[in-house]
Amino acid sequence: MDYKDIVGHEHVVQSLKRAVRNNNISHFYLFEGEEGLGKRTLGRTFAKTLLCEKKGAEPCNTCSSCIKFDHLNHPDYHEIDPEKGIIRKGQVEEIIRGMSMSPFQGDRKVFLMDQAHLMNKEAQNAMLKSLEEPPSYVHMILVTSSSKNLLPTIISRGQQIRFGQIPLNLVSEYLVDRQGMETGEARFLAEFSKGSLGRAVQLSSSEDFFQLRDWIIELVGFLVKGESWKIFSAVERFTDEKDRVQELLDIMLFWFRDLMVYKATEDLSLVINSDKEILLSEQSFLDFDRINDIIKKIQDTSMNIQLNVNYQLSIETMLFKIQEEF
Ligand SMILES: [Zn+2]
């Protein structure tokens, strides 16, 4: 584990390195940003750096502390995760006990709590107490995707580090170099995941994601040809894939956005389904207003499903609406 493995977040990395170089390391950090951006990975790398015996701005990867860290058995590094979706007071009390004992190996102890927003109220109050006067050797990193669920008093005590989106080209390079993906698919996933590396990696290892995408695109093709009888079996499949419906609707949304862009520019470099040019060109006879209406309908359907409107009916209405539009 090293800063070299971090994708994007250049300014965060620089500011953490600077803090170490200037010996201006905070005792409490709050890493916040959406899921899948690599916050925890960066937190671990920072923790490893703080524990490294060489005391440089980056982990040396050779000292006994770095080796223990990589083998996940460093005695002065502790990670706390939610249990069944909650972090309870008992877990925080365990941290506090851990804090009160001096480091075993070096002169620092690092605690990293992932999904800190899942602390319940009692846990947060206990945490607040522990942050009041932590021993000088303690460093705490809270990682969260939604700090609005944390007590303002916790937030204000920490040094906040915001994680922004990872540039799409870096996500797609990572998928090609590290995951061995083909460039077109990597580019699609980078865009589809909106710069969330974790999401992109997860989808790249999902066996059927690209099959689902092909199915959706094929379905749109049938609707273009007016083959409305396909809708009934499609609704069935949508019902089987109910857990992934937002993914399916996103695939559909991206398709119609591409259609709009392709129709306007005929520039393949601007569309994310760039491997489907023939289909895009076949369907570009649709006029802009119609495509717009369809996009709006898909967005409404997505919203309705989140609001628990009748699932089957929403999907069916959407598919008929798309078919009508053609
Ligand atoms: Zn080291």
Burial class (CB in 10 A: 0-12, 13-18, 19+), 59: buried
Q: How far is the CA of 254 from the centre of ligand 1 (A)?
A: 45
Q: How far is the CA of 113 from the centre of ligand 1 (A)?
A: 22
Express each pLDDT in 185-238 by its tens digit: 898 999 899 888 998 999 988 888 999 999 999 999 888 778 888 888 999 999
Count CB-CB contacts under 10 A for residue 125: 15
Cβ atoms of 175 and 146 closer than 8 Å: no
Query: DSSP label at 308?
Result: T
Q: How far is the CA of 16 from the centre of ligand 1 (A)?
A: 16
Q: How far is the CA of 52 from the centre of ligand 1 (A)?
A: 4
Q: How far is the CA of 276 from the centre of ligand 1 (A)?
A: 49
Q: How far is the CA of 22 from the centre of ligand 1 (A)?
A: 18
Q: How far is the CA of 49 from the centre of ligand 1 (A)?
A: 7
- Rounded to an integer, what distance in angstroms lies between the CA atom of residue 202 and that of residue 189? 10
Q: What is the pTM of this model?
A: 0.79
Express each pLDDT in 11-46 by its tens digit: 999 999 999 999 999 999 999 999 889 999 999 999
Q: How far is the CA of 46 from the centre of ligand 1 (A)?
A: 12
Q: How far is the CA of 115 from the centre of ligand 1 (A)?
A: 27
